[in-house]
Structure 1
Amino acid sequence: MTTRTPNFTGWRAVILSEEDGNTDRLRRQFGLLGISASLQWTPLAVADLPDLVLIDADRGWDELLPISDIAPACPVVALLGSEAPGRIAFALRHGAGAIIPKPVAASAVYPALVLAASVHAERVEARRRIAHLEERLKLRPIVFAAVARLAGERHVDEERAYAILRDCAMRRRMPIEQLAAFFLGGSETLREVG
């Protein structure tokens, strides 16, 4: 996957933390990057998700960020000053794509945001590809049924019937599952193969 460095101008971020020197440094860096940031120490509303979430992984609790690593809706960055395995697991469980160590150094902010945005984009693309493959997998019985019918009609073995179906699909530039469904539905006779 080719990744471009994002331009964060116009992004809206929520920092889930209590106000301290770290949050001051974050907001100052965000201002330089064109990101508008708000600070809150109450659970994030799912209905109003920002473009980016930063969460204090040292002190955060599960309900603070109601999204998970399975499908984070936006890039997540963890603010972490602890090496405690439980706090690192908390950050991962909530979809953190990057960590900014505490105390926050200005030079750590931009790379962490780029990394989190990149990881999030890869996750979104992976979910899309998995959904596509799962859909095709659900249609495999249709392909098997079409192969069996074609083998019976043309008096060929299943390997040859599959090759016929595959070649027709490739010639017509359509998924084999779609051609198999047309064939089984009677709207396609596959005339071009003897």
Structure 2
Amino acid sequence: MSRTLRRRLTQDSHGRLEWNCPRGCGCANFYPGSFDPVTNGHLDIIERGCKLFDEIIIAILVNPEKKALFTVEERREILEEVLTLVESDNCTLRVDSFEGLLMRYAVEQRADAVVRGIRAISDYEYELQMALMNRRQEPRIETVFMMAAEAYSYVSSRLVKEVYSLGGTIEGLVPATVEERMRKKFGRS
């Protein structure tokens, strides 16, 4: 664990570990993803992350090789709109986008940690490999894994797009604004 994070993890009088990150200490968290589209699972990770960090940078990964449903600018607009629904507990939420190496961007943003949501063992295997490579690139920045809430343990952006494109319902899986924008994208009334 990095020294920055270790200082923030303390024991209470009963020996239980507590996260000690008083507001203003600069505890920054970086949550990267495609967010194409943002799901309620993403928002759950952000909301719970706000209990741990002063600031969460929600960073949209720009991958020119991948065909996206929404443009980076549309994803940014959607995120900024739906983040107003998140109980942020005085945590600063900021939306940004980046290309290239994750760790390079994290260093530029002075992030202490990268948070990744884990839904299943298959996610863990992939994310563990990425975390180890990221640690090799930048050992000072930790990867924090957060388990998906049970209600969202099967929800992914890819699955949301697939179900919707085949005429299925996505109610409860994405914020209402995402569902509305998807209706427009797919030409549904």
Length-normalised TM-score, structure 1: 0.23
Q: Which has the larger radius of gyration?
A: 1
**Structure with the larger RCO, 1 or 2 (CA within 8 Å, 6+ apart):** 2
Give the strand-richer structure, 1 or 2.
2
Greater share of helix residues, 1 or 2? 1
